A and B are shown apart, each in its own frame.
Chain A
């Protein structure tokens, strides 16, 4: 039993599978209505950058009504609100929170205080609407140099379970050139992944903007997974398949992970203090990673070929 507790502590706060987070423009009724059919693990209804200023209100009410009326079954439903310094931010929260989304994406997060402010507002609105306090998650997006430098604090904030990298704005902010390979973001990505891992939360990679290059997307998603991202944000339904394919472990990886997880279960059953596979000692982080691999494999087999 002791070991089980130990492993739970090491797990990220929210083990939900988020291989793909699909951005859906909040002002397009057909896209909002059909967003749930493409197999993305997570949906982000956008009220921010994809919405022209004169459609902010329309988008907010369309998304609110969709969240109230449509059945998304098991898909995670989140909303990207407008950033704190805008006049829309609070209006977005007031309209959206009563519909109980799983999470709120906070763009342009730069300071822990940003998260604390949103947390306070969420708690207030939750209370006013008789909702349980603290259930709706905060998912900051890091889009500036300052945000990167404060990532350790932001990642430790209340309700924070996922941090997204916003590559487009970020490269502009640091004065780098946005390349297809994404080499300008290597350090930043690693730093975000590290901060998330230290706080047991998930790091999600930035979007890939060329919707006509599934192979390029597949390759870059592979690299993102290798360095520790738990998912990728996507901007078109056709991007679901290549990213999920990238997340599909190989048969060798699956076999190895199964062995490790079985050995772990066995060690608990028999009350052993150590886990060993093929005569080698296995530590808990390896078990956790193996469980994650099996989860991805299961999801991949259920939907794809």
Chain B
């Protein structure tokens, strides 16, 4: 196998599974196509009926065949049944060599494991966690896992890197003509943003719902002209308790709270935190705590922000309701409070994955972010962030919008503990890179923070006496001193099981099969 070295200093094969790979060469320098991909034209006339009761019939009508590509969204998160149901059906129909392109694979999807082993599903494109991720790490799938960011996924669908033959859209509510929204019904999940590119660019679109309503269903998130079939399924497509939580838990771990507080100190010192400020937060315990500290500070200084981007959570929606932000732009809604807000508040806007983060459009929203607070499983001394692999080399997570927001935001903060148990989080070299160090400005830990010397915010933050600033090497050394040493690197075979794309489609890194 021939290799190139990319600018993140990773060895990338020139070709893998028949695809020629373009090595990552820095942000804004990736491959670029002149035209968007165009899906097949379909024709539905006045006498046609779109509604079917049988999923099997809908799949047959789509003319899905061996070797083709199917897609799903993950707005039902760990409460999603549809991906499993469709894969079971495909297996029963005798289809094989299917490429799976969901926006994420979660723990609940472990049911499809036998289909990876039997060659029914041969490759997956998405962020993956849980049992399936683990199985891929152990070499149980024939083809490759391609890990993309949310923006990268939208880009790959729109520029034709990924041609979706059939998109299956789990629909909380749909009318008989395929107008879909996520705000009504037992399985309400809020925004359907990640499914927008699928609906617009797939060759065939099947909406699957348990809540079929008369035409027209409003509000319309995904509209009828993209939808070929509406399946009214007699079994549940999801589990409401896994789709939205009633309360997301803010961390009570004092270490997490300290990190959260320090993130807000960085923000205050950066000079960005003033009227018109824009912010994105995740739904992790530490970031939720940071959002709450941000709230207190904005109230005390009477700061009015412009927009907040979701992952919409109750904390964020409360800030909208209290006038701390003018608008929420919502690509996914995490809790019932956010779902209700999307339905009722005119300033809570649903956006699609492309509008959110696709780099190859006439401008996505991450470009307008002032700041983003992100996490990671590891950070290295070059500020590269790993979100996908754990310290034992196994794939455990995807990356969400990490790359997109890190590149887009003016100030990108990585909030991580220095140690998880006895595992140091700041290391010489991350096992795999999801977010290149050139996009990272500050790494905040419970024992101080490191500022990237190449960050435009380096000098302004460095001047601030209140910040406990250390070099990234110092942070690494503190961690090593605490556990008296460096852990060994995990052992891997020479077979590549996964590839991490940058959002532009170039290749950042590859992941090798772990040794059993």
Q: Do A37 and B482 touch (CB < 8 A)? A: no
A69: which B residues are within 8 A, CB to CB? 484
Which of B447, B481, B484 lies in contact with A37, CB distance below 8 A?
B447
Which of B252, B254, B258, B482 lies in contact with A33, CB distance below 8 A?
B482
> What string of 1s and 0s marks CB contacts (under 8 Å) between A235-262 and chain B?
0111000000000000000000000000
Residue among A34, A38, A71, A302 with the highest chain B CB neighbour number at 10 A: A34
* Contacts of B404-448 to chain A: CB distance below 8 A: 419, 421, 446-447
Is residue B10 within 8 Å, beta carbon to beta carbon, of the partner chain?
no
A30: which B residues are within 8 A, CB to CB? 421
Q: Do A34 and B446 touch (CB < 8 A)? A: yes
- Interface size class, chain B: 10 to 19
A34: which B residues are within 8 A, CB to CB? 254-255, 446
Total count of chain A residues near the partner, CB < 8 A = 12
* Contacts of A1-47 to chain B: CB distance below 8 A: 30, 33-34, 37-38
Q: Do A38 and B254 touch (CB < 8 A)? A: yes
Is residue B257 within 8 Å, beta carbon to beta carbon, of the partner chain?
yes
Distance in angstroms from A302 CB to nearest chain B CB is 8
Distance in angstroms from B44 CB to nearest chain A CB is 58
Distance in angstroms from A300 CB to nearest chain B CB is 12
Q: Do B482 and A236 touch (CB < 8 A)? A: no
A238–B253 CA distance with the chains assembled, in angstroms: 9
> Which chain B residue has the least Cβ–Cβ distance from A34?
B255
> Which chain A residue has the least Cβ–Cβ distance from B300?
A305
> What string of 1s and 0s marks CB contacts (under 8 Å) between B245-269 and chain A?
0000000101101100000000000
> Which chain B residue has the least Cβ–Cβ distance from A241?
B261
A195–B258 CA distance with the chains assembled, in angstroms: 37
A236–B257 CA distance with the chains assembled, in angstroms: 12
B484: which A residues are within 8 A, CB to CB? 69
Q: Do B254 and A237 touch (CB < 8 A)? A: yes
B481: which A residues are within 8 A, CB to CB? 71
Q: Do B257 and A37 touch (CB < 8 A)? A: no
B466: which A residues are within 8 A, CB to CB? 302
A38–B446 CA distance with the chains assembled, in angstroms: 8
> Which chain A residue has the least Cβ–Cβ distance from B417?
A34
Q: Do A38 and B482 touch (CB < 8 A)? A: no
A236–B252 CA distance with the chains assembled, in angstroms: 11
> What string of 1s and 0s marks CB contacts (under 8 Å) between B447-470 and chain A?
100000000000000000010000
Which of A70, A236, A302 lies in contact with B254, CB distance below 8 A?
A236
> Which chain B residue has the least Cβ–Cβ distance from A240?
B254
A236: which B residues are within 8 A, CB to CB? 254
B254: which A residues are within 8 A, CB to CB? 34, 38, 236-238
* Contacts of B274-332 to chain A: CB distance below 8 A: none
A70–B254 CA distance with the chains assembled, in angstroms: 19
A236–B258 CA distance with the chains assembled, in angstroms: 13
Distance in angstroms from A146 CB to nearest chain B CB is 36
A237–B251 CA distance with the chains assembled, in angstroms: 13
Which of A33, A71, A238, A302 lies in contact with B257, CB distance below 8 A?
A238
Binding site for A on B (CB under 8 A): 252, 254-255, 257-258, 419, 421, 446-447, 466, 481-482, 484
Given A70-B482, A237-B258, A238-B257, 4 other A-B residues pairs in contact with their CB atoms under 8 A: A34-B254, A34-B446, A37-B447, A69-B484
Cross-chain pairs A/B with CB under 8 angstroms, 5 sampled: A34-B254, A37-B446, A38-B258, A71-B481, A238-B257
Task: Report, nearest first, the 6 A-B pairs whose CB atoms are least far apart.
Answer: A237-B254, A37-B446, A37-B447, A238-B254, A34-B255, A38-B254
